Structure formats: structure tokens, C-alpha cells
Structure 1
Amino acid sequence: MPKKVVTFGEVMMRLSPPGYSMFSQATSFDLVYGGGEANVAISCAYLGMKAEHMTRFPDNALGKAATQFLRKHWLSTVNIVYGDNMLGKYFLEKGASYRSSVVIYEREGSAFSLIQPSMVNWEHVLKGADWFHWTGITPAISEGAAMCCLDAVRTAKKMGLKVSGDINSRDNMWKYGKTKQEIIPELVKHTDIVTSSTRGIFEMFGLGELGGKFKKSAKLLMDEFPNIEKVVGKKRKSISASHQKIHGKMWNGKKYLKSKNLDISHVIDRVGTGDAFAAGIIYGLLHYDDDLQALNFASAACALKHTVPGDVNMVSLENVISLMEGDTSGAIKR
């Protein structure tokens, strides 16, 4: 029986000038949908897992179109709630070589930002699931979204699910009177697998130091929150917008692990690569007994997402395993 993951967060419309055009050159936009947590669920679905995304969409044609996008990518959408009339959106100008990508968000007042805990029955949503995943973006959007996320992690733990949280967040998103230092720790108390960075751990919890060692910061985080089983992260070296090198890292409470280095010399789309890594960790920890294998799987999934246009990683399980096992040839599969 396939394992099931449930994710929770906003899904936005993504609008990009065709190819690598700049905003000032655009006369049309390519349209897809994406959001960090939904990206994770879709990645898991393409790896063969059962996956569901919980969100709130506007009760109009755009909400229905976004729902259809999730269904197209094999996600269950039966528990999505609808209301209000605005779908969040963001504009992406894709960088190339020495030119960085640019992102502009329009999400204030979206249907998701107006979600309230009373709108979701988490025991019903999480029934039959093995894993729940959240990110630090969701509780930054609004107080209602933060409280709904807290209900979700508390319910997931009560029901015996594993909980993972990608807790890195953006300071400029916290506009409703609370700070991430006030909200994120309570969510982490109910989280088993934490994805973060040395910077994220320092800025959110005041632990470790900027530019310090990941292992030391992860140890301090686990000392502060004994419920955490593993702290994971990825290291990225940007040669240019089109050339990246990555590897994964993990502190599992006993030893520090590092995955193989992967060199991505022709980046097609960097957006969603962290979500592909998170999905890889979820799949890896559910299907491998060895933490290093799980980390190598996640790094391979992350590397492959750099070759896929759009927000979501649509590579197959066979693709990931092939790269994990060392096949970097890119040879035609016949």
C-alpha cells in the first residue's frame, strides 16, 4: 500500500515572461500554479506516493482552475475549502548566466490568507495519512493561517503521523503583528523532521552563529527541541544563475551525514528545487532504512528539478534512483 502525505499551504498563480525574457520585454506571460507545500505533494505523487494538498481557493473560475491543476498532477483535492474571490499570484522573471531571477508577489487579501481554523477538520483531512508537511511560509501569511497550521501539526502528532517542517521563512512576509520568533517555535515542538540552514536556525531561534557549522547549529536545535529526530538542509554553490552545485546534509542525533555533490551545469528553472528536496527527504525516510540513502535520494530529486520548467518536480522514481546511483549521462531512455 503506497504511503500517503498531506501538505498545507497557499497555491498561487505563477506568471512568467516566455523563455528568459525580462518583464520589460514581455507582451504575454506563461501561466502555471505553484506553492511550496503543494510542490512537495506533487513531487511525492510523481514518486508513486498517495498525496493530498489542503488549501483554500477563491470560489470562482480561478479557484476551480487551480484545483484542476492539482488534480492533473494526481493530488487529492477533496478537502479543499472555498471562499472569497482572490487567488494569490506571483510574477517570475527567470535569470540566466550572470542575471539573477526576480520574483514579485501579490498575495495580500487572498482567499488563503483569510483562512480560519474553524474552516478545517484536521482529523478528517489527516485520516489514513502517514506524513504531514508544512513550511515557514504558511504561518507568515496571516494569523489565521498560522493558527490553522498549528492545529494541523498538533492533530497530526496526536494521530501518530510523522511531521516535517521546512522552517526557513522570509522576514518581509510577517505583516500581521506577530514575528516568526513568536510563532515558529510552537510549530517546531510538534515536528519530527526539520529542514533549515545555519542562518535559519540562528535567525529564528538565536542558536549557533551566522556562518557557523551546520552540525553545531543542528545539535543546538535538537537540544532545544528534543522531539526533533533529524535536522536536514542543502548546500548550494551558485556559479551563475545557469550553473549550480548542490549537496544535502543531515544531523540525525548521532552522526553528521553529507550526500554526494551534484553539478547542475544547465539550469532550466531553479524555483521549487527546495520543495523537490523536501519531497525527496519524505520519500527517502519512508522507504529507506539508511539515512544517507534517504539524503542522497533527496539531493538527486533536488538536482533533477533544476531541469524541469515550472514550480513542480515531475520526474519519476526511476529518474531519481538512476541519478542517485550515479548515472549522470542524460542518455535517451528507449
Structure 2
Amino acid sequence: MAKVVCLGEIMLRLSAEAGTRLQYAQQLAVFYGGGEANVAVSLANYGHQVQFASKLPANGFGQAVEQHLRGYGVLTDHLLKGTGRLGTYFVEQGTGQRGTSVIYDRQASAFASMSEPEWSFAELFAGADVFHISGITPALSEAWQKLTLELIKAAKQAGCSVNFDCNYRKNLWSQKAAGKFLTKVLPFVDYCSAGKLDAIHLLGIPESSQEISYYYQKMQEMLPNIKVFYSTNRVVHSACVNELQGTLWQNDTCYTSKNYLIDPIIDRIGGGDAFTGGILHGLLQGSSPNEVVAFATAASVLKHSVKGDCNQFNEAEVLSFSQSESAKIER
């Protein structure tokens, strides 16, 4: 199996139960998660040696995060401890035609407050095959934009492939700021999670009535260094019923998974991270493009069936699900 380094902020998530507004909630469920951490958990579930790098407060919440990661087999040698707080976000679960809403409370967190590298790049990337980071991290501050670029360049110098998930969050920065940063960082990226909306709104590709392969082709022309693009196509019928299909672009060819109807959705948050983890696993295994996108999409669909931010299924379970035709009882 491969050695992977994931870096980003992991946060405390507080969720009201479905049907309860946040301002009227009497109790909140506690989870821990973040884009890069969720990918780390998926890859550890599939047997890879995964290090998660971040910075946590030196208190009980920091200890809880570390226990969460270790419980899934994620290595924490590069988890820094220091002053500041653990970033937090609050979730009001959608129901029916009312979508889920998120409130971030992450300013002055131990991670977001970092302004200089606090890791030895040589130690962080020693022997690593892939470095994974997302667009959420550089959205935190100008300092983190600089740090993200430094980290990616250091990973490339160490011989790592770089996987970058655009993961645009409108609550963190504007499309203009995100697009400007992407022009700096994507020339150093090997694998990229980016779909139609990213192509149009972040990379400036003209909108067209053509299929997703048109956008992949245009992104490939702009960024010939990127070997693989991938994304999901989601049709939202309600907060609890979605259709999901995965796509992957490799060697000038677009590959598409089967379309899944997810009904009901238990928890949508982290579904994209489960897809990214599945893509990376398939690429690291040397699977065919069709196998890669089929596995990743099945992993994402399964994530929608459990509470919390991270995927809780191993490789055998994902493969079994992807090959099944129904939700029959497994005896």
C-alpha cells in the first residue's frame, strides 16, 4: 500500500437533529471532521499508511481529535499542538426542500492562525507517494495561501504526486480570489478534483451546453501537467433524496460511473471527500479508470448512509456494495 500525507484543518462539528433549527436546539451531536482529514480516514480504511498533518489546541478537544484519527488508523506524527482554539462549525440538517446550512466559527483557531511553516518539509514528505490538500486551506488566510504553495512545491521536490481538491467554499472566500490562487497552484498539481462549476466560475472557461468532457478537455488544455481530473454530478430532488454519478478524465477520455439514487440520505457532509479518497485509492492501486470511478462513487454513496463527516467503510465493503444490485440483508 502507499504512503500518503494529508494536511488541513480538522474541526469540531456540532449538529442539530433533522427537523430542529439551530437556534432552538436543546442538544447538539458532536463529530470531528474536515476535508483533508476525511480523505485521510478513507485511505487508512483502505489499508494505506496515512499521516495527517495539522495543528490543534493543547487541550481536551485536541486530544479528542487525535483519538478520533487514531481510531481509524490515521497516523498523527505530524499533529502539532499549540495555543488557540479548535475550529468549530454548526450544522442545521435540511429536510424536504430545505437544504442543510452550515455556520463556521473558525477564526483564531490554532490551525488558521499559523503564519509560518512549523513542520520540517523533509520529515513531512519523507517516503511519501502522494500529498493531498484542498482549496479550503488556502481560503483561511493570505498566509495560508503562501503556505499551501510552499507545501505543494516541497512535496513535488520530495518526489510526491500532488492531489488538489478545489473544494470551493463561498463562505470562506470569493470566486475571484479562489480563481487567482488556482492559477498559481494548479501548475504544480498531478491530480485535481474539479468539475463544471469550478471550470466556469474559478478557471474562466466559457459555459457551454456540452457534456462534462468539454470542461475536462478545456481544463486539460490549460493545465497539461494534470494527469487526472475528477468530479461528481449530483441531482438534488430533496435534502434527503439525491442522484449521484462520478466522472473521471484520464488520457483524453471521460469515464462515468453508474448513476445512484440515494434515498434516504442520512448525512451528506463528507460525501465529496469519500469520493476523493476512493479516486486516490484506485489510482494508487493501479486500477483501470472505469474501476477507479466506480469504486469512488460507491464509496461516496455509502458515506451518505452514516452520520458524521468521514467514510466508515473498508475496501471489501465498498467493492461488495458497488457490485450489488439491491440493499438485501448480508447474512
Shift of 1:91: 0.4
CA–CA separation in structure 1 for the residues paired with 2:187 and 2:325 = 39
Residues 42-191 of structure 1 mapped to structure 2, 5 A cutoff: 42-174=41-173, 179-191=177-189
Instruction: Work out the CA distance in 1 between the residues paired with 2:208 and 2:164.
Output: 21
Q: Where does residue 193 of structure 2 map in the other structure?
A: 195
Three-state SS of the structure 2 residue aligned to 1:239 is strand
Indicate the SS of the match to 1:168: coil
- Kept in 2, the 8 Å contact 1:112–1:145? The answer is no
Q: 1:274: which partner in 2?
A: 272
**Equivalent position of 1:331 in the other structure:** 328
Distance 2:167 2:16 in 1: 28
Return closer, same or farther for 1:37/1:113 CA change in 2, 3 Å cut-off.
Answer: same
Unaligned ranges ≥5, structure 2: none
Q: Is the 8 A contact 2:89 2:102 kept in 1?
A: yes
The CA deviation at 1:211 is 6.0
The letter for the 2-side match of 1:126 is: F
* Distance across 1 between alignment mates of 2:5 and 2:228: 20
| Equivalent position of 1:284 in the other structure | 282
**What SS does the aligned partner of 1:52 have?**
strand
The corresponding residue for 2:312 is: 314
Shift of 1:133: 0.9
Q: How many matched pairs?
A: 330
- Give the 3 Å change call, closer, same or farther, for CA 48–148 of structure 1 in structure 2: same
Q: CA deviation at 1:306?
A: 0.5
1:251 is matched with 249
Q: Deviations over 1:119-161 (max 9, x none)?
A: 1222211212211111111100012222222122112212222
In structure 1, the gaps of 5 or more residues are: none
User: Equivalent residue for 2:7?
Assistant: 8
Q: Does the aligned pair in 2 maintain the 1:90–1:105 contact within 8 Å?
A: yes
Q: Aligned letter for 1:104? A: I
CA distance in 2, matches of 1:168, 1:201: 12
Q: Give the SS at the match of 1:114.
A: coil
Decide which of 293, 296, 307 is 1:295's aligned counterpart.
293
Farther-moved stretch of structure 1 (227-236 vs 206-215): 206-215
SS of alignment partner, residue 198 of structure 2: helix
Tell me, yes or no, if structure 1 residue 236 matches structure 2 residue 234. yes
Equivalent residues of 2:130, 2:162 under 8 A apart = yes
SS in 1 for 2:150: helix
Q: State the shift of 1:44 in Å.
A: 1.0
Q: Is the 8 A contact 2:278 2:292 kept in 1?
A: yes
Q: Which amino acid aligns with 1:237?
A: V
Q: Tell me which amino acid in the other structure corresponds to 1:201.
A: A
- Assess if the C-alpha contact under 8 Å between 1:122 and 1:151 holds in 2: no
Q: Percent identity?
A: 34
Is contact 1:113-1:144 (8 Å) kept? no
CA distance in 2, matches of 1:199, 1:95: 23
Give the drift of 1:210: 6.5
Mapped to 1, the partners of 2:252 and 2:195 lie a distance apart of: 18
The Cα shift of 1:113 comes to 0.8
Could you give the per-residue CA deviations for residues 10-63 of structure 1, whole angstroms, max 9, x where no partner exists?
A: 111000124543224411111111101100000111122111111111222222
Question: Bigger shift: 2-11 or 269-278?
Answer: 2-11
SS in structure 1 at match of 2:230: strand
Separation (CA, whole Å) in 1 of partners of 2:105 and 2:211: 36
Q: Distance in 1 between matches of 2:23 and 2:127?
A: 48
Say whether the 8 Å CA contact 2:217–2:252 is kept in structure 1: no
C-alpha distance in 1 between matches for 2:241 and 2:4: 32
TM-score with structure 2 setting the length: 0.94
Deviations 1:206-258 (A, max 9, x none): 12326653212211211111110111111001111111111111221321111
- What SS class does the counterpart of residue 119 from structure 1 fall into? coil
- Please give the alpha-carbon distance, in whole angstroms, between the structure 1 residues aligned to 2:126 and 2:253: 34
Which deviations, in whole Å up to 9, do the C-alpha atoms of 1:239-288 show, x marking residues without a partner?
A: 11111111111221321111111111111000000000000000011114
Instruction: State the Cα distance separating 1:168 from its structure 2 match.
Output: 3.1
Indicate conservation of the 8 Å contact 2:45/2:315, yes or no.
Answer: yes
Give the Cα–Cα distance (whole angstroms) in 2 for the partners of residues 67 and 46 of structure 1: 16
